[in-house]
Amino acid sequence: MAERFVKVYTRFNRIWHWSQVASIFLLLFTGARMMGMHQIGPFGLAVTVHTLVALALLLLWAFATFWLFTTEAWKQFIPTQNGLRQVIRFYVWGVFRGEPHPYRKQYQRRHNPLQLLSYLALKLVLFPAIWMTGLAYLTYGFWGHLDTSAVWLTVIANLHTIAAFAIASFVVVHVYLLTIGHGFREHVRPMITGFEKVDVSPEAEAYFAAEKPERLKV
């Protein structure tokens, strides 16, 4: 095994990531405006931006899901317990004692097991929760005539808000964790350039050299 700079994040991958960053930031900002947490900008503009950005993000998610399943990228997200304990132990203990991170990034497995579980939870629980409640809220016009619609709207809106705060919490932890290990800049750079230093087997290296030379930075 040798460490090589490999293009781990494809262009679509990176666009997907940064689009999510931008839209989630806009959604949190405009959502907070509608909640009354700040008064920056008119309420109506916040509604418009929130709605349009959310619809765009949903479209992106639809593409991303398609992309995940048509490429092999979905395999990145198969959960595993292998090494999970060590990673947890590192974050609650080892990190304070200068121990190195126990996980070695691989081309096929770019997330550590804990990271993987978090992302999976985000994709399978929080994102569906936010867009299902959001779509239900947005389509009030179709079910608002129901006698119980006032109650349902309250329930949906509150679930939407909780999910939003949970996503905001994810963002905080996500950004914070970039500061651990090689450092913030080192961690952000791969998501910009696409290349990251990962362990590559000689076979894989040979494959890249022969078939995908553009994926390998020498």
Binding site for other proteins (CB under 8 A): 34-37, 39, 42-44, 47-48, 51-52, 90-91, 94-101, 140-141, 144-151, 153-154, 157-162, 164-166, 168-169, 172-173, 176, 179-182
The nearest distance, CB 166 to other proteins, in angstroms, is 6
Closest to other proteins by CB, 60 or 95 = 95
Cβ closest to other proteins, residue 73 vs residue 166: 166
Least distance in angstroms from the C-beta of 97 to other proteins: 6
* Minimum distance of other proteins from residue 116's CB (angstroms): 18
The three state secondary structure string of the chain is CEEEEEECCCHHHHHHHHHHHHHHHHHHHHHHHHHCCCCCCCHHHHHHHHHHHHHHHHHHHHHHHHHHHHCHHHHHHCCCCCCHHHHHHHHHCHHHHCCCCCCCCECCCCCCHHHHHHHHHHHHHHHHHHHHHHHHHHCHHHHCCCCCHHHHHHHHHHHHHHHHHHHHHHHHHHHHHCCCCCCHHHHHHHHHHCEEEEEECHHHHHHHHHHCHHHEEC
| Smallest separation (angstroms) from other proteins to the CB of 103 | 9
Looking at beta carbons only, is 15 or 55 nearer to other proteins?
A: 55
